[in-house]
Amino acid sequence: MKSREVLFLPGDGIGPEVSNEARKVLEYLNDAQDLGINISQSVVGGCAYEEFGKPLPEATLEAAKKSDAILLGAVGGPAWDNLQYDLRPERALLGLRSELDLFANLRPAILSKYLSDSSSLKSEKVLDLDLLIIRELTGGIYFGEPRGTSDSNQSAFNTMVYSRDEIERIGRVAFEAAQKRNKHLCSVDKANVLEVSVLWREVISKLASEYPDVHLSHMLVDNAAMQLVREPKQFDVIVTGNLFGDILSDIAAMLTGSIGMLPSASLNSKNQGLYEPVHGSAPDISGKGLANPIAAILSVAMMLKYSFSLNKASSAIENAIQEVLSEGYITHDLEGDDNKKLSTSDMGNKIIEKLI
Ligand code: IPM
Ligand code: MN
């Protein structure tokens, strides 16, 4: 059997705590089902800066390039907030995304039926919510050139640029995802103002003829932000550019009650992937056993599905989590019975119990 190389990058803040639980789940399944996964570990983010003077050391980048899949906890924290731009922990994330060409960012927002009271919307608005945001991750204004600050520091600028090829490849990922779901794709742009969005709309519209079973619609990003909180269940798959996707996925995350529940996958064309919880490093609660490991554990489920096509093992994790939630067990970020609030590691153990 071909070995499967997984790199763990725990990172900063609650990253190590939640990724440790994810690692326990992966190790359990690997042993129980003989999945042939080899796990190694490296440093990234603020802790890498402390050790090597940079957030993404060469050795980490090399290990990442050689792996089939990466699980990242979270990066960042107040200790590194005042570092110059290139040394900030977040740069490591952007570096991994661009160096590995991880252009397709999949951010599902699924509300467990056991948690509909945790949402900031009325439960009938979000009951059974299941939407998928597909964010272009290696282009757009995050990476466009020119960028910088004028000599006198009186102005600063970034460039939002997309090529036809970049739009087409993320478009294909989105149409294919919609084909496997409810066959509705909404492309989000700002085509009433931005040339880059006019091109985006043109390329996505042209692709639609190759996917006749998918119903395509277009929406302006301001309206999409409103519709997400007005009637989120109208959406199935949303595809959008880097910056709009960043913003809309945070809105979608909150609809599910807690950002502590949401995993993500960032894939390249070889299905090499970086998997990470959508939440950040939450320095305020780090080291206290308060963090919710479910987003990290669901990120492992996404890894098994997207990088290794181990769909059964992936579903087993998702089902185990639902079973734990159905029994009322929660973590500190979720609404529910205080007597059933579990620590980070107890939640990990509870999920593993259901896998056995
Ligand atoms: C995200 C984060 C990152 C982004 C930051 C940390 C660079 O907000 O993954 O959504 O803006 O892409
Ligand atoms: Mn973000």
Q: Which CATH number is 334's domain given? A: 3.40.718.10
Amino acid at 7: L
The one catalytic residue in 250, 341, 346, 350 is 250
Cis peptide leading into 263, omega within 30 of 0? no
335 touches 260 (CB < 8 A): no
* Statement: residue 3 has pLDDT above 90: no
> Is residue 29 assigned to a domain?
yes
Mean pLDDT over the full length of the chain: 96
Residue 1 is predicted with a pLDDT of 61
> Is residue 239 assigned to a domain?
yes
Q: Are residues 255 and 275 in the same domain?
A: no
- At residue 257, the 3 state secondary structure works out as coil
Provide the token pair at 136. 């272009």
Q: Are residues 278 and 184 in the same domain?
A: no
- What's 153's DSSP letter? S
The domain boundary, picked from 235, 259, 283, lies at 259
The domain boundary, picked from 259, 291, 309, lies at 259
Task: Give, in degrees to the nearest 5, the angle at Cα 101 between 99 and 102.
Answer: 115
The domain boundary, picked from 225, 259, 293, lies at 259
Assess whether the C-beta atom of 93 lies below 6 angstroms from ligand 1.
yes
Least confident range of 24-28, 125-129, 206-210, 300-304: 125-129
Number of domains comprising the chain: 2
Q: Are residues 345 and 304 in the same domain?
A: yes
Share of the chain above pLDDT 70, in %: 100
Q: Is the pTM of this model over 0.85?
A: yes
Q: Are residues 125 and 239 in the same domain?
A: yes
End-to-end CA distance of the chain: 24
The one catalytic residue in 246, 275, 306, 333 is 246
pLDDT in tens, 64-75: 999 999 999 999
Assess whether the C-beta atom of 250 lies below 6 angstroms from ligand 1.
no
Q: Are residues 150 and 193 in the same domain?
A: yes
Q: Are residues 242 and 193 in the same domain?
A: yes
Q: Are residues 142 and 224 in the same domain?
A: yes
Alpha-helical runs (H) found in the chain? 15-33, 46-52, 58-66, 90-99, 123-126, 164-180, 195-207, 221-230, 242-255, 294-306, 311-326, 344-355
Q: Are residues 300 and 231 in the same domain?
A: no
Residue 335 is predicted with a pLDDT of 85
> Is residue 108 assigned to a domain?
no
pLDDT in tens, 161-197: 999 999 999 999 999 999 999 999 999 999 999 999 9
Give the DSSP H or E segment for 266. Answer: strand 263-267
> Is residue 275 assigned to a domain?
yes
Q: For residue 286, give the nearest of 26, 45, 28 by alpha carbon.
A: 45
Assess whether the C-beta atom of 324 lies below 6 angstroms from ligand 1.
no
Expressed as residue numbers, the domain containing 20 is 1-103+268-356
